[in-house]
Amino acid sequence: MPISGPPSAAPSSSTPLGVAVLGAGTMGADHVRRVDQLVSGARVVAVADPDEARAAALAAGIDGCRAFPEPLAALDAAGVDAVLIASPGPAHEEALLAALDRGLAVLCEKPMVPDPEAALRVVEAEAKGGRPLVSVGFMRRFDAEHQRLKALLDARELGAPRLLHCRHRNLAVHPYFTEEMLITDSVAHEFDAARWLLDQEITAVQVFRPTAALPEHTGVNDPQLVVFETDGGVVVDVEILANGGFGYQVQTEAVCERGTARIGEAHGLMTNTAGRWGGEIAQDYLTRFADAYDREVRAWVAAVRRGTTVGATAWDGYAVAAVAAAGVEAQRTGRRVPVELAPRPAPFMNAV
């Protein structure tokens, strides 16, 4: 799609950035609350969802915010300077291309676009515009524990990393969640986090599935073990559990040449009483990663004002989609599947 719209200018420092939020479900509602109540320098001016009642309910609580049943119409609403996409992954490509066509900066929830060919179209559309506009919501990059682990690995304090052991356990997933989404929607986070933590590309993926019968209540064969290799020789294993039923846990342990480092062990209150100790397990990502989402959206608003992006780029979104495509094939065939990456375009001159 050609870039035909005029480039958007970030508003002056005294005018809040007008944000259109596409998708008024779990994440859309959380981001609307965040932009409205926690982030200074931005306001929600439009909310769009084909479920009109959802959009209207969110917009009703915010002065000057309009609800739209047609997602793309919200991009043309008065006062829109930037777009936050929180619709399901398959709807992202259309919204991203429309935003880029209008020169609007975007924070797009992960996965940027689940399918790699479509993800590459987004990379190309942004490149044609000549400036960075797409930030992808891989929020672990803004989580304090993940940032500490990255700093430790970058500084080589424990020597070179050799293995990453990851656990990704969900309480439950949406009823529309499919077996493929274990890879494209959930392990997508570990694909991004591993690339970012290690500063390496992923080269091949394998998926191991228990042979036990499919649990009737979920429709997803739980748990699965996803193992991938990087071009720096690191091996990463990820236990992915969609319907664990007990809480939300995201843990990573790096095994390096001279030691190990672990994050995600505890998050919440620990109690000692009556001869026992015990702790809390967060029940969902909205709790576990609340601080990370806040930092992410604040950083995004600040970046848009500076005319740039933050966190994962459109290229990162594409790379994750390419790895996920290999992962889905590995899941289907039981084979080790190499990752095919397109040539990387030159970075933007002013990207951060």
Ligand X SMILES: NC(=O)c1ccc[n+]([C@@H]2O[C@H](COP(=O)([O-])OP(=O)(O)OC[C@H]3O[C@@H](n4cnc5c(N)ncnc54)[C@H](O)[C@@H]3O)[C@@H](O)[C@H]2O)c1
Interface mask (CB under 6 A) for ligand INS, residues 101-120, using x and -? ---------x----------
**Residue 332 contacts which entry, ligand X, ligand INS, none (Cβ below 5-8 A, type-dependent):** none
- Of positions 87, 135, 170, 331, contacts ligand INS by CB under 6 A: 170
Closest alpha carbon to 189 in 140, 123, 150, 223: 140
Give least dist CB 108 to ligand X, A: 8
Q: What is the dihedral of CA 248, 224, 27, 133, to 10 degrees?
A: 130
Q: Find the binder of ligand X among 27, 236, 238, 325 (CB under 6 A).
A: 27
User: Among residues 204 and 293, whose Cβ is nearest to ligand X?
Assistant: 293
The 10 Å CB-count burial string (b at 16+, else e) for 44-68 is: bbbbbbeeeebbbebbeebeebbbb
How far apart (Å, rounded) are the C-alpha atoms in residues 101 and 99? 5
Does 184 engage in binding with ligand INS (CB under 6 A)?
Answer: no
304 binds, options ligand INS, ligand X, none, Cβ within 5 to 8 A by partner type? none
Asked if 183 interacts with ligand X (CB under 6 A), we say no
Radius of gyration for the chain, computed over Cα atoms and rounded to the nearest angstrom: 20
d(CA 65, CA 80): 10
Letters for 270-309 (x = contact with ligand X by CB under 6 A, - = none) are ---------------x---x--------------------
81 binds ligand INS per the rule CB under 6 A = no
Q: Does 186 bind ligand INS (CB under 6 A)?
A: yes
- How far apart are the C-alpha atoms of 277 and 82, rounded to whole Å? 47
Beta strand pairing call for 17-22 and 42-48: parallel
Part in contact with ligand INS (CB under 6 A); list of ranges 44-52, 125-133, 166-174, 214-222: 166-174
Q: What does each C-alpha distance from 242 to 135, 175, 218 come to in angstroms?
A: 26, 11, 9
* Residue tagged 């559990």 (tokens): 241
Among 25, 41, 129, 247, binds ligand X (CB under 6 A): 25
Binding part of the chain for ligand X, among 11-19, 25-33, 195-203, 342-350 by CB under 6 A, reads 25-33
Q: Does 73 bind ligand X (CB under 6 A)?
A: no
Here the tokens at position 278 are 């015990």
Residue 221's Cβ-side half-sphere holds a number of Cα atoms within 13 Å equal to 15
Residue 131 CB, nearest approach to ligand X (Å): 24
Residues β-bridged to residue 106: 83, 134
* H or E element that contains 325: helix 314-333
Q: Which residues are near ligand INS by CB under 6 A?
A: 110, 168, 170, 173, 185-186, 189, 285
Q: Which residues are near ligand X by CB under 6 A?
A: 22-28, 48-51, 54, 71, 86-89, 91, 109-110, 137, 139, 174, 185, 285, 289
